[in-house]
Every structure is written in structure tokens, then in C-alpha cells.
Amino acid sequence: MEHIQNEKLSAYCNNQLPEEEQTIIDNHLTECESCFSLYLEAIDNCHIDHSVSESFTDKTMEELELSPLFNQESRPSSKKKNRIMAHYLLAAGLTLIFTFSGLFESVLHLSEQTDAVPKVSVSEQLMNKTTDFLDQIKEDNNK
């Protein structure tokens, strides 16, 4: 499948696309890392739009809450927000997992090394490992 265009992605996170297309993009985002990172950027832009029109959103929500029809059904806009939050959490969670597994591996590797070479100070090794690791993260972010 082809990559998703930027306009599509921002329309997607503003929920302006028909259900069908959203599903297609949903599926593509779970498989395509590059589109997913573009999508995260698009979310950031969406949030700027949301903050600008916050009073409008509040008014709309109030009206929805006043309407008995919408009280019976789950409110669509909060569902949409939950999905964006879920994607955010997914990305944040993955970052945390990578960060911790990286550090954990370093520490494990370090303790093996410490047994073999007891003369090198552990804190010094830990410092080096951490610096290397932080450099790596910086590099990744600069890509």
C-alpha cells in the first residue's frame, strides 16, 4: 500500500475522514513506522488547532451534554480524543520500553564486565554507558 499523504493524516487526526478511510489509515499506521511518526507530528498540529478553538469545543460539548439524544449514546468526540490519546500513550510507552531495555542491557552487560575487570570503577563505566546511550538517543532524534 502507498504511504499516506500529509493532508490525509491531518484530516485523519481531525476526524474529517469517512469511517472507511480512517480504518485504512488505522491499519497502515500499525504497520508503517514512517507514516506513524508523521502522524504524531500531525497530532501536534491538531492540538494547536484544538487549543485555538477550545471555547468553541467547550460550547459544543455543553450542547451535546444538554441534548438527551447524545446522553444515551457514547459521545463521538470523546471517543476520538481517546483514540488519539491511545496512540500518544502507545508512542510514549514504546519510547519508555526502548529507553529502559537499553539501560537495563547496559547495566547487565556492565555487571558481567565488572566481574571480569574489577579494577575499573563501576560508576565510571556506568557514566560512559549512560553518555553513549544519551548520544544514541540524540542521534535518533536528529534523524
Contact residues: Zn ion, CB under 5 A:
3, 32, 35
Which CB sits closer to Zn ion, 27 or 60? Answer: 27
CB of residue 42 to Zn ion, shortest distance in Å: 13
Which CB sits closer to Zn ion, 29 or 46? Answer: 29
Which CB sits closer to Zn ion, 13 or 35? Answer: 35
Compute the residue count for the chain.
143
Which CB sits closer to Zn ion, 3 or 47? Answer: 3
Q: What is the DSSP letter of 3?
A: P
Q: Alpha-carbon distance 92 to 98, whole Å?
A: 10
Which CB sits closer to Zn ion, 9 or 125? Answer: 9
CB of residue 27 to Zn ion, shortest distance in Å: 11
Q: Which of these, 91, 90, 79, lies nearest to 19 by C-alpha position?
A: 79
How far is C-alpha 73 from the chain's CA centre? Answer: 28
CB of residue 50 to Zn ion, shortest distance in Å: 25
Q: Alpha-carbon distance 39 to 45, whole Å?
A: 10
Q: Alpha-carbon distance 113 to 108, whole Å?
A: 9
CB of residue 28 to Zn ion, shortest distance in Å: 6
CB of residue 4 to Zn ion, shortest distance in Å: 6
**Burial (CB count <10 Å: 0-12, 13-18, 19+), residue 24:** middle
